[in-house]
Amino acid sequence: MFHKTGQILSRLIKQWSPNKPRPAADQNEPLSSSIQVNLNKISSVFANASDLVIRQLQIGTREQTEAFVVYLDGLVEKTIVNDNILEPLTLELRQAQANGGVSRKRVLALIKKQVLSVGQVKEATTVQAVIDAVLSGETVIVIDGSAVALVANTRGWETRGVQEPPTESVVRGPREGFTETLRTNTALLRRKIKNINLKLETMKIGKQTKTDVCIAYLKGIVNDKLVEEVKRRLAEIDTDSILESGYIEQFIEDAPYSFLPTVGNTEKPDIAAAKLLEGRIVILTDGTPFALTVPYLFMEAFQSSEDYYSRPFYSTIVRWIRFTAFFLSVFSPAIYVALTTFHPEMLPPALLISMAAAREGTPFPAIVEALGMGVIYEILREAGIRLPKPIGQAVSIVGALVIGESAVTAGLIGAPMVIVISITAIASFVVPAISDVTAVMRLILTVMAGIFGQYGIMMAVAGILTHMVSLRSLGVPYLSPLAPTNIPDLKDVLIRAPWWAMSTRPRVIGWHRPVRQKFHLKPEPPSDTNRDRT
């Protein structure tokens, strides 16, 4: 039913949105062979751009040729432009001509092949290509008498270094995180996977921002249909701006009307590499350290990179701690409300008496307490995130003292409710990837518990469960490998099997080539020789 509504809505939106053909770019014309025409065109396009640098030169000695070099200050590496472009153009070309003499016609080829000592030099034939190159930090050399411009890669700008990301910190494992620069991020991935099969396809998205977006996948492991589907979805994005990967996420996700995320994100190259190696696709976006991973399944939220670096026994326990924390953070307010409002007889008598005593004299029913405290907790959390750090402490003091202590002493809320909300809050931090999801689920469950008690909780669970089961991420069932059950895949969900036992990749995603490593890799002591001696 919701699919239906969604279809109608999206159809309406499509009808409303003006789908006019874009005006043909007048810059799409080819470059002229007259340098003056080219100069005028480029400077008129870049009018009022104070960071544009146009350096006019005369190159050669016998036949002086007009030329100019154009780049955007701040986007280029100045030393490269000075030492490897301007200096050779002005000095070395002169020597070359002095030695043999070069005709005007051959000067372009000479510059490209012998003069410029820059790693990557391309040719541009249209004004638009020149503009795009300049905007992305490249240096363009235009020479009189030639309708072809040379584009030298001189990109280099102020960036943040590779640091430990604040969102996914680990005790054991690599600490480097993605940065805001796409090239750095792809390099970080390449350093993890030294394999020609690691494909990095780049496209530009955003009519205004022209953001570089890179699709990374491991050919041979990934399902090619998934790659095609991701490319199709990305190509369909027709928007002004992509400032963060979150924009892309909302354009390509499978279930836009669901509160559950069907696209994952990570800030760490080792996690991204692991996802690639499982047959997933990573989408890197220029300007943000957050890479998207698809397909994203619900159970990935309970997997941490550290699980795989530590030994399996404790990892398995920690994984179950996460499941427990998730259930606590989703269910505890609802169960508390249901117990106090509808089913006091379910509590052991001693607990019931102490809870009733604590709630004695509080003015609000349990459901109002639960919702109110939930809202106050969310306010405190949001305030703590946005405020500068020194003030943030003040917020937590106010929250802890005033709301935790004074409100109970004043008899406004019962002490058990404060405990319940605290458990909820702490537990939701254990599974940070889906803390927003738990908040929504908690709200649904608490409201249903307030109306119907235990029956309401169960109906809400049934509703949420059927909804989750119905979702897909790029065609992969969202709750797999739980439903549809895939028993071999449970080795990395319900437990964390030791590495020598993880012989197959997750079949749901990597069915293309499921075998990851040799079977029977279990380490064993050498057979007999040592035993005799001891």
- Four-point Cα dihedral 2, 8, 9, 10, nearest 10: 110
Strand, helix or coil for residue 431: coil
**Contact flag: residue 348 with another protein (CB under 8 A):** yes
What is the phi-psi region of residue 138: left when phi exceeds 0, alpha when psi lies from -120 to 50, beta otherwise?
Answer: beta
Residue selected from 62, 175, 311, 343 as contacting another protein according to rule CB under 8 A: 343
In Å, what is the CA distance from 392 to each residue of 54, 156, 373, 383, 435? Answer: 48, 36, 19, 7, 20
Q: Considering beta carbons, is residue 365 or 463 the nearer one to another protein? A: 463
Interacting span for another protein (CB under 8 A) from 117-125, 130-138, 222-230, 481-489: 481-489
Q: How far is the CB of 348 from another protein (least distance, A)?
A: 7
Q: Which stretch binds another protein (CB under 8 A): 29-37, 102-110, 344-352, 404-412?
A: 344-352
Q: Pick the closer one to another protein by CB: 7 or 393.
A: 7
Establish if 346 lies at the interface with another protein (CB under 8 A). Answer: yes
**Does 461 engage in binding with another protein (CB under 8 A)?**
yes
> Can residue 226 be called a binding residue for another protein (CB under 8 A)?
no
Kindly tell me which of 24 and 487 has the beta carbon lying closer to another protein: 487
Whichever of 423 and 459 has its CB closer to another protein, that residue is 459
For residue 523, is the peptide bond before it cis, meaning its omega torsion is within 30 degrees of 0?
no
Nearer to another protein among residue 246 and residue 488 (C-beta): 488
Render 221-265 in DSSP notation, one character per residue.
TS-HHHHHHHHHHHHH---S---SHHHHHHHH-S-TTSSS-SSEE
Residue 416's nearest CA partner among 312, 336, 513, 475 is: 336
422/454 with CB nearer another protein: 454
Does residue 494 interact with another protein by CB under 8 A? no
We find the least distance from the C-beta atom of residue 452 to another protein, in angstroms, to be: 7
Cβ at position 466, least distance to another protein in Å: 4
Of the candidate residues 48, 208, 466, 529, the single one contacting another protein (CB under 8 A): 466
**Cα→Cα distances 94→44, 101, 355, 372, 481, Å:** 31, 9, 93, 79, 69
Distance CA 370, CA 444 (A): 12
Q: Is 43 in the site for another protein (CB under 8 A)?
A: no
Q: Which of residues 417-456 bind another protein (CB under 8 A)?
A: 452-455
Residue from 195, 470, 491, 503 binding another protein (CB under 8 A): 470
Query: Which stretch, 80-88, 301-309, 421-429, 479-487, contacts another protein (CB under 8 A)?
Result: 479-487
At residue 39, the 3 state secondary structure works out as helix
Least distance in angstroms from the C-beta of 480 to another protein: 9
Count how many residues are written for the chain. 534
Binding mask 62-91 for another protein (x = CB under 8 A): ------------------------------
Per CB under 8 A, does 485 bind another protein? yes
- DSSP conformation letters of 484-511: TT-GGGGGGTTS---GGG--B--HHHHT
Q: What is the DSSP letter of 392?
A: H
Size of the site for another protein (CB under 8 A): 30
Q: Which of 338, 341, 328, 294 is nearest to 441 (CA)?
A: 328
Distances, alpha carbon 369 to alpha carbons 346, 377, 412, 425, in Å: 21, 12, 9, 15
Q: Which is nearer to another protein, 54 or 458 (CB)?
A: 458
Applying CB under 8 A, which of residues 358, 440, 459, 501 lies at the interface with another protein?
A: 459
Contacts (CB under 8 A) with another protein, residues 290-329: none
Least distance from another protein to the Cβ atom of residue 374, Å: 22
Distance set, CA 323 to CA 111, 317, 434, 443, 466 (Å):
64, 10, 12, 19, 19
The closest of 178, 246, 248 to 206, measured between CA atoms, is: 248
What is the distance between the alpha carbons of residues 100 and 21, in angstroms, rounded to a whole number? 53
**Binding status of residue 257 toward another protein by CB under 8 A:** no
Q: Taking the CB of residue 95, how many other CB atoms lie within 10 A of it?
A: 10
Q: Establish if 457 lies at the interface with another protein (CB under 8 A).
A: yes
Is residue 465 within the footprint of another protein (CB under 8 A)?
A: yes
By beta-carbon proximity to another protein, the closer residue of 308 and 331 is 331
Task: Name the segment binding another protein (CB under 8 A); options: 1-9, 110-118, 143-151, 318-326.
Answer: 1-9
Taking every pair of Cα atoms in the chain, the longest distance, rounded to a whole number of angstroms, is 106
Among 458, 495, 497, 501, binds another protein (CB under 8 A): 458
Select 376 or 459, whichever has its Cβ closest to another protein.
Answer: 459
User: Which residue, 459 or 497, is less far from another protein as judged by CB?
Assistant: 459
Q: Does 462 bind another protein (CB under 8 A)?
A: yes
CB of 412 to another protein, least distance (A): 29
| Interaction between residue 330 and another protein (CB under 8 A) | no
Cβ 75 to another protein shortest distance, Å? 50
> Which of 221, 216, 230 is CA-nearest to residue 475?
230
3-state secondary structure 120-182: CEEEECEHHHHHHHHHCCCEEEEECCCCCEEEECCECCCCCCCCCCCCCCCCCCCCCCCCCCH
Distance CA 49, CA 287 (A): 22
Nearest by Cα to 162 from 19, 269, 7: 269
Question: CB burial class (10 A; 0-12, 13-18, 19+) of residue 42?
Answer: buried
Least CB distance to another protein at residue 434 (A): 18
Nearer to another protein, 312 or 477 (CB): 477
To another protein, the closest distance from the beta carbon of 479 in angstroms equals 7
**Rule CB under 8 A: which residues touch another protein?**
1-4, 342-343, 346-348, 452-455, 457-459, 461-463, 465-467, 469-470, 477, 479, 482-485
